Amino acid sequence: MAKHNNTFKKFLIDFNLKIAKELYKKHSIEMDLSMEDTTIDFFIIFQPIIGYAVFIDEWCTHYNFDKSKVKELIADKILLSYRQFFI
């Protein structure tokens, strides 16, 4: 496997699944680890988490908004969307 693929797996896939597991546990949602559901979860949760990581500092500085509040809002909305469409 090429080096960039290892980086992709370790950072993007494993990191996102770890966050998803934490969010599911926090909100008492069972997590199905089938490949189909893992694939869906990865692509649905992927963009918001990466967007958060890329823009959070600039967003909070520009709008003078508390970073921990943004994290809480994002997590709650991701889970609300997930519950509406998949549970």
pTM, two decimal places: 0.46
Could you tell me the CA-to-CA distances from 56 to 42, 46, 50, 69, 71 in Å, in that order? 20, 15, 10, 11, 9
Q: Which two tokens stand for residue 4?
A: 């960039």
Task: Please report, in tens digits, the pLDDT of each residue of the chain (87 residues total).
Answer: 445 566 666 666 677 677 777 877 887 877 666 778 777 777 776 777 778 888 999 999 999 999 999 888 887 887 777 676 655
Please answer whether residues 20 and 45 qualify as being in contact, where contact means their C-beta atoms are separated by less than 8 angstroms.
Answer: yes
